[in-house]
Structure 1
């Protein structure tokens, strides 16, 4: 039985109190987080520029961008460590911009934070690390101990309570960090590059845990990352940030299927089928040889025997070069590349007409003189 399965098996008994607390939150506004035209400048650097964004109750929103895009500034504004120069930020309907440090303490108790490098206290045990925010909040020791036991069972570390961080793996340290972030029953969990310091297998286990927490507790999660694979694995929606601006956002499957911005396409390059380098290197805009097209399908149009129907409808009119089918949020997302003889305009028109009838997104990427 895996750690995640163990956590699931013990969830009903060990975390009943956590679940009950989540169920009691019924009067919150639909948007747990709301940003309206938020800007933040550091000297000549515009870290955030008129950012407007909402995170709905119970959803996982992934924010992705390159280093220096503004992700860290955004998250620091959300937890009150930075004050924007202009704009409004609301957490659970409460405006936090302009609050004093004392007033922010109450807001921060509703926001849990998971860090890239765990930020555990090496001289304290796992249980003591998780208990620390509860101790600071003045919770009685008996109640604190009960809560810590619940949380460690929830993240699959019930047997590690007396261990010190040095004895833990990276994934176990991050589970401790997640348990600590959940200690005060927050409405919002902020994850700042929470998996970027982990190996791929451990990353998958942490993402599985975050997804399970979202489903079981209904907790809202805002996930900051530079890895599109992380977004694909757990997020419901994604927002792409570049130079301090949100340049694209939407349901993950739609953004994967029809990326609108070049940066988004670049970030997706490692996850979506690409034209083989041997062909891409010989592409030309001069009409010759074969016309090369990229084809995207998504949603209901991509279900079923799509490529079989395509081949049967237009036998011999095109050649499949490369492609693949993925499933994101229960939607099929298909991308493939085809070649059509440039000299046969009739076949080209027939193929394009059929694809457009199927609601495909089609783009001519160029021509190659010959296929090798």
Structure 2
């Protein structure tokens, strides 16, 4: 079992927002979305269980979870396609739970939707696809044309207005989808696996576009995905959903630095330094050979090149096995693995003491029988 030696971080509940005061007057004014105690069951399946979240004006929240975790049900509740069994959903302060289909139409005009597979009409041009929600809303032709031109310029497709979807690349189709979702100037943009059907390079360009739109328009974005790399690229906060429950929630940099749940650690596995496979396969909890530690630090505690200072302070006391520094949301996130002789208790205590003074977290992950 992993043993935790230090958890010397600022107040976790405050930083992670788990107990955020969503009901304070100032925060309430800024809330574009407030979910309180949302539950939804389909037969014997509990799709959502007591979900509470807020999205403030101008922020990007990443909602991440594996297939079947509840992401799709949550987004369908947000756009009114599903009604929760219990709880409250507010969009810009208006409770949408229990509204009729006619009443929901006004709410949906404030919510734009970007789909995984674009959902463009193949028989209509790019301009016609983007204009469709404006036409349905009753906007006159001249205004529609002006708005469509503005939107296509915004997403970098001004020269594709008269093309049909079949002539576009996947990334271009998604840009059309984003332009259409922005047509009615919504307060909230829901992106449902918006990059899952795209190659890595195109994904980066779409994420850069979403980030730019967030900054230029101040639009609030809920980004639903199963890819932690997507969250890392653009989101301000992340909520991890599993089994219909929010199991972890907080600023992206801090969740990356110190994931609390096994699910989050699994989702992060490809993005954070890991113990080399040859050592991981030989790990034991029986004291022998070398003891292996994992060291975490983030934010101010990770500044000033922690690893370099560590090596300078304690030369020859340990072996560096794996590690690195990430910069997420302007915060440094450090994670590295070290090994030292299990028999040298004095050096072990000196190392732990020094790391403690640096406000680092240290996990003893096990022992290996011999020097590799």
- The TM tier, using the shorter chain, reads over 0.9
CA distance in 2, matches of 1:292, 1:369: 11
Give the structure-1-normalised TM-score: 0.92
Tell me by how many angstroms 1:114 deviates. 0.1
How far does the alpha carbon of each residue in 1:160-194 deviate from its partner, in whole angstroms, 9 at most, with x for none? Answer: 00000000000000000000000000000000000
1:29 counterpart SS class: helix
CA distance in 1, matches of 2:371, 2:92: 58
CA distance in 2, matches of 1:35, 1:28: 12
- Is 1:115 paired with 2:144? no
1:363 counterpart SS class: strand
Gaps of 5+ in 1: 1-26
Residue of structure 1 equivalent to 2:22: none
2:284 counterpart SS class: coil
CA distance in 2, matches of 1:371, 1:134: 68
How far does the alpha carbon of each residue in 1:242-293 deviate from its partner, in whole angstroms, 9 at most, with x for none? Answer: 0000000000000000101010000000000000000000000000000000
CA distance in 1, matches of 2:332, 2:305: 12
Gaps of 5+ in 2: 1-26
- Is 1:329 paired with 2:349? no
How far does the alpha carbon of each residue in 1:49-95 deviate from its partner, in whole angstroms, 9 at most, with x for none? Answer: 00000011100000000000000000000000000000000000000
Tell me by how many angstroms 1:361 deviates. 1.2
- Is 1:99 paired with 2:99? yes
Residue of structure 2 equivalent to 1:15: none
Residue of structure 1 equivalent to 2:124: 124
CA distance in 2, matches of 1:145, 1:306: 56
CA contact (8 A) 1:292 1:365 kept: yes
Residue of structure 1 equivalent to 2:355: 355
CA distance in 2, matches of 1:42, 1:28: 31
- Which region of structure 1 is more displaced relative to structure 2, 307-316 or 111-120? 307-316
Tell me by how many angstroms 1:304 deviates. 1.5
Tell me by how many angstroms 1:305 deviates. 2.6
2:29 counterpart SS class: coil
**Structure showing greater relative contact order (alpha-carbon pairs closer than 8 Å, 6 or more residues apart):** 2
Residue of structure 1 equivalent to 2:293: 293
| 1:1-372 aligned within 5 A | 29-372=29-372
Residue of structure 1 equivalent to 2:16: none
Return structure 1 stretches of 4+ with deviation > 6 angstroms.
none
Change (3 A) 1:131 1:57: same
1:138 counterpart SS class: coil
CA distance in 2, matches of 1:185, 1:28: 21
Tell me by how many angstroms 1:340 deviates. 1.2
How far does the alpha carbon of each residue in 1:31-65 deviate from its partner, in whole angstroms, 9 at most, with x for none? Answer: 10000000000000000000000011100000000
CA distance in 1, matches of 2:152, 2:339: 55
CA distance in 2, matches of 1:204, 1:29: 33
Tell me by how many angstroms 1:28 deviates. 8.6
Tell me by how many angstroms 1:308 deviates. 1.7
CA distance in 1, matches of 2:64, 2:354: 35
Tell me by how many angstroms 1:370 deviates. 1.1
CA RMSD of aligned residues (A): 0.9
1:246 counterpart SS class: strand
CA distance in 1, matches of 2:76, 2:370: 53
Give the structure-2-normalised TM-score: 0.92
Change (3 A) 1:170 1:28: farther
CA contact (8 A) 1:28 1:92 kept: no
1:239 counterpart SS class: strand
